[in-house]
Amino acid sequence: MPALAIHALAIHGGAGTIPVAGLDGETADAFHAGLGAALRAGWLVLCGGGTALDAVTEAVKVLEDDPLFNAGHGAVFTTAETMEMDAAIMRGSDHAAGAVAGICGPRHPVEAARLIMERSGHVFMAGAGAEAYLRDAGLEFMPPEYFATAWRREALHQELARRASGAADTRSDADRHGTVGAVARDASGSLAAATSTGGYTAKRPGRIGDAPVIGAGTYADDASCAVSTTGNGEVFIRFTAAAEIAARIRLAGQSLERAAADVIAALANHGGDGGLVAVPAEGPPVLVFNTSGMYRGFVADGMVCTAIHQEPYRRTRL
């Protein structure tokens, strides 16, 4: 477990992961490097006296830029071979929140969510209306081909062929979902959470997952915790997973560790496979999952700690 610190930062790059047997060393190194870069970006903000909100924004932007992760560049495709991205961000001090769903255009969907939070007067926007607003507001846009990657397209074609053939679904967690997220606590004790995703390969156009649903995939409340989840989004929505963890801390006096573990276990009973990262008002981050792995990491004692499956955390100097 990470040591106590004033600053805290944890991230995830999705649960599931490529199965242990199918993950070669070079690919694993690339995932660790991607997670490490995101942690360093977020930690730099916190060490410079920046806010938790800025830290999670910067960490998630790095993961959105990295095609290994299913968010921004590298997002998965819908059945219509389009990309529809969801993201949310929330600040724990005042419950300010922004979320966006079903967009393809903003280079960093997390910045789209933040712009909606800070400037729109709304909390949640979707689709063409959201894209038009964000473009008018001057957010950085990229063409669809920027987001597209050959291996995500191949994954779509394989899945469509499987469905057409009637074959059983033997995809790993990694094929069925993927998300990135970050949680942080800054020197003022304020918390923040952010989540960003392309959804899952061959989702229906129009489908919204839990990432942009405040209280399901993303939540922050200084009195309890900040949470970003990843997994089978439908189940996380139905059980308001992130807000439930905060409620157990605030109303039932549970520790973050216990609340997070219990909620992830309860979700599993309803088919909700996945995981989450969270930071409490005081104490170290918590990273839990009920899948075979979760791309994840945190910073502790000057070390960047990253892991994929159940192996010990790989530790590298900041």
Q: What are phi and psi of 247, to 5 degrees?
A: -65, -40
Tokens of 250: 């605030």
Can 82 be counted among the known catalytic residues? no
- What minimum distance in Å lies between the beta carbon of 22 and its own copies? 26
Q: Which is nearer to its own copies, 107 or 207 (CB)?
A: 207
Cα 240 to Cα 242: distance, rounded to the nearest angstrom = 6
- Give least dist CB 155 to its own copies, A: 19
Phi, psi of 314, deg, nearest 5 = -80, 125
Angstrom distance (rounded) from CA 307 to CA 315: 9
Min dist. Cβ of residue 86 to its own copies (A): 10
**In the complex, minimum distance from the CB of residue 108 to its own copies, in angstroms, rounded to a whole number:** 18
Cα separation of the two ends of the chain: 17
Q: Which is nearer to its own copies, 28 or 194 (CB)?
A: 194
Q: Which is nearer to its own copies, 73 or 203 (CB)?
A: 203
* CA distances (Å), origin 41, targets 47, 145, 159, 192, 234: 10, 26, 35, 15, 31
**CB closer to its own copies, 120 vs 316:** 120
Least Å from the CB of residue 286 to its own copies: 19
Residues that bind its own copies (CB under 8 A): 78, 80, 84, 90, 95-97, 101-102, 120-133, 203-209, 213-216, 219, 233-234, 237-240, 243-244, 247-248, 251-252, 270
Measured from the CB atom, is 129 or 302 closer to its own copies? 129
Q: Is 118 left (phi over 0), alpha (psi -120 to 50) or beta?
A: alpha
Task: Give the C-alpha distances (Å, rounded to integers) separating 27 from 5, 195, 276, 306.
Answer: 31, 23, 23, 14
Residue 156's contacts (CB-CB under 8 Å, 6 or more residues apart) are 76, 77, 79, 81, 201, 202
Burial profile 16-50: b = 16 or more Cβ within 10 angstroms, e = fewer:
bbbeeeebeeeebeebbebbbbbbbbbbebbeeeb
Q: Which of 90, 16, 228, 91 is nearest to 100 (CA)?
A: 90
Q: What is the smallest separation between the CB atom of 94 and its own copies, expressed in angstroms? A: 8
Residue 44 or 96: the one with the smaller Cβ distance to its own copies is 96
Catalytic residue among 179, 195, 197, 218: 179
Decide: 64 and 108 in contact? Cβ < 8 Å: yes
Residues with catalytic function: 179
